[in-house]
A and B are shown apart, each in its own frame.
Chain A
Amino acid sequence: MSAQAADVRAGSVEAAVRSLPDRAARLRDGTLAMGWAELHKLRHDHLDIFTRSVQPLLWLFIFGTALQHNHALSGGSGDYRAYLAPGVMAQAALFVAIFFGLGVIWERDVGQLQRLLATPLPRLGIVLGKATGAAIRALAQAVVLLVVIAIARISIQWSVQGVVGAIALLLLGTAGFACLSMILASLVKTRERFMGIGQLVVMPLFFASSALYPLAIMPAWLRVLAHANPLSYEVHGMRDLLLGISAGGWLWLDFAVMSSFLVVTAVVAAKTYPRAIL
């Protein structure tokens, strides 16, 4: 390699490092701009939060009440409804997130996507901002659910750090699954096919996780799948934080898995997203 080429390379590395703060600032501003828009959309459509909260409440009060005294399901700990509560919160957020990509297809059909991609917004910022939108919806839903749980006197352990931690985990998971959904949307490109794929993905994710029942009562093959499922870590951590069960000091792992899940899906989504316009 000639000295000149080495100089050029060193120069471009230097330039890349120098532009880092600028790129970070653009990523922050872009994410905030997208998130701001998502928040305002939600403000014009707040009924959405309540209609979406019905399904998890049905799970909690019908499914949960029917199996209330089944101690095998609740991993041996008291009220099954309390055991189910974090699972149902995570599940409700998962449903919001996994169909979030529908918006990408809609935007592509109407022309918003082309427009967005021709602005200086960084791709990663667009994706993270959208994911923030899904997380905001999940947050609103989680608050509704927690209020209902409190009113129904379902015995979870109320502590500030427990609730804040559980919600943080929920938001990480929702953002990650929303990015996953955007990846799927940019690959399938039509609404009909996306709905099919969404259904195909969402139920296995839900059932092959600890959302409804503990990993311990699963057959071995399902347990393996559940261990590879980010939703299991999300629910595991939330149970730890809200119920004080299934702890074992693995809470850090739950956060680590959910954070890495978000980073990986966001980076991949930022790559596939622009391809949705083709």
Chain B
Amino acid sequence: MTALARVEELERVVEVEGLVVRFGEVEAVAGISFEVGSGEVFGLLGPNGAGKTTTIRVLTTLLRPNEGSAFVAGHDVVRAGLAVRQSIGYVPQAISIDGALTAYENLEFYGRAMGVPRQERRERIEEAVDAMQLASFLDRLGRTLSGGMLRRLEIATALLKQPVVLFLDEPTVGLDPTARRLVWERLELLREEAGTTVLVTTHQMEEAERQCDRIALMDRGRIAALGSPVELRSRFGVPALEDVFTEVTGGRLEEGGSFRDVRASRRRSRRLG
């Protein structure tokens, strides 16, 4: 059975149709369509400036698309923004943990922010702490945590409301291999145990190849190829996903990434280091 046929059988929790986002003259997203089935781990791959983060911002209601439509958990991201925000978890590329609060306080805060009722909050926090293995540093201030701890804490805060879809924007950027493995390990468990749908962006090809059920390769605002890692490799007759990407983009050097992006990601790597 092909990956697409498998998706047809699943309930669709993300549906994107003809999505276009323009910033002035630039088309950051130039008409993309894809679907994500319930329980899938779906990867958006591509170089900086390919439109991955912009796509995620539309799906998390932070940005209005210029054209096309997007539904998350059955709700229109433009017309029913609140309903979408109530059914997702989102971990942005940059660090969203408050450094001036302890790890536990961050969990408590996001629990409140996401509208987890008071009676359930403590229990949900305990579950999230177990799932992401945070028990050893709950009382430490956010700003003293290591990169791997921060990412796990962030994912934990995004799980408190048991989201229909979990959006992770470059979850392992700036992490050392050990921390990276730990984050993926926890995500795998989450998927096996809770069946959470994950939409993840990354530019780490090997990582995507190992972790994602299906992958959309993005290049200059378009989806250049879409399928399971195995399908993509056999379609292009190459040994690794890395090579699929080279085939698709013609091996261009990446051009994207503004000064601000670069500055922000360097600062982030320094903090996460």
Interface residues in chain A, defined as those with a beta carbon under 8 Å from any beta carbon in chain B:
26, 29-30, 32-34, 36-37, 40-41, 44-45, 109-112, 114-121, 274, 277-278
Which A residues are CB-close (under 8 A) to B92?
111, 114-115, 118
Is the Cβ of B62 less than 8 Å from the Cβ of A118? yes
Instruction: Answer whether residue B138 sits at the interface, using C-beta atoms and an 8 A cutoff.
Output: no
Q: Using A109-B264, A110-B94, A117-B62 as known contacts, say yes or no to A36 and B114 having CB atoms under 8 A apart.
A: no
* Cβ contacts A to B, 24 pairs, < 8 Å: A26-B115, A30-B113, A32-B112, A37-B98, A40-B101, A41-B100, A44-B100, A44-B102, A45-B100, A110-B96, A111-B94, A112-B97, A112-B98, A114-B60, A116-B113, A118-B85, A118-B88, A118-B92, A119-B113, A119-B114, A120-B86, A120-B113, A121-B113, A277-B62
Q: For residue B85, which residues in chain A have a CB less than 8 angstroms away from its CB?
A: 118-120
Contact B109–A37 (Cβ < 8 Å)? yes
| Chain B hits for A277, CB < 8 A | 62
Residues of B bordering A, CB below 8 Å:
57, 60-63, 82, 85-86, 88, 90-102, 105, 108-110, 112-115, 141, 264, 267
A-B Cβ contacts below 8 A, count: 78
Task: Give the nearest-CB partner of A129 in chain B.
Answer: B113
Look across to chain A and name the residue whose beta carbon is closest to the beta carbon of B91: A115
CA distance A29 to B116 in the complex (A): 11
Whether B105 contacts A37 by the Cβ 8 Å rule is yes
Given A26-B115, A109-B264, A120-B114, A115:B96 Cβ within 8 A: yes
Contact residues in A for B112 (Cβ distance below 8 Å): 29, 32-33, 36
Smallest CB separation, B171 vs chain A (Å): 12
- Interface SS of chain A: helix
Measured in the bound complex, the distance between the Cα atoms of B82 and A35 in whole Å is: 21
CB distance from A106 to the nearest CB of B (A): 10
Q: With both chains docked as a complex, state the minimum distance between the C-beta of A187 and any C-beta of chain B, in angstroms.
A: 17
A114 to B112, CA, bound (A): 17
Q: How far is the CB of A116 from the nearest CB of chain B, in Å?
A: 7
Tell me how far the C-beta of B98 lies from the nearest C-beta in chain A, rounded to whole angstroms.
Answer: 6
A118 x B93 contact (CB < 8 A): no
Are A36 and B96 neighbours in the complex by a CB distance under 8 Å?
no
Chain B residues positioned under 8 Å from A45 (CB to CB):
100
Please, how many angstroms separate the alpha-carbon atoms of A29 and B86 in the complex? 14
Query: Do the beta carbons of B101 and A111 come within 8 Å of each other?
Result: no
A108: nearest chain-B partner, CB-CB: B94
Cα-based distance from A44 to B101 in the complex (angstroms) = 8
Known: A115-B91, A120-B113. 18 other contacts (CB 8 A): A30-B113, A33-B109, A33-B112, A34-B113, A36-B109, A36-B112, A37-B98, A44-B141, A109-B94, A110-B99, A111-B96, A114-B60, A115-B90, A115-B92, A118-B60, A118-B88, A119-B113, A120-B86
Task: Report how far A111 CA is from B94 CA in the complex, Å.
Answer: 5
CA distance A125 to B59 in the complex (A): 22
Which of chain A's residues has its CB closest to B96's CB? A115
In the complex, what distance in Å separates the CA atom of A277 from the CA atom of B114?
20
Taking CB atoms, residues of chain A closer than 8 Å to B101 are 37, 40-41, 44
Q: Collect the chain B residues with CB atoms within 8 Å of residue A278's CB.
A: 63
Interface centre among A30, A116, A120, A121 (most CB of B within 10 A): A120
Residues on A with beta carbons closer than 8 Å to the beta carbon of B110? 119
Find chain A residues with CB under 8 A from B264 CB: 109
Closest chain A residue, CB of each to CB of B167:
A118
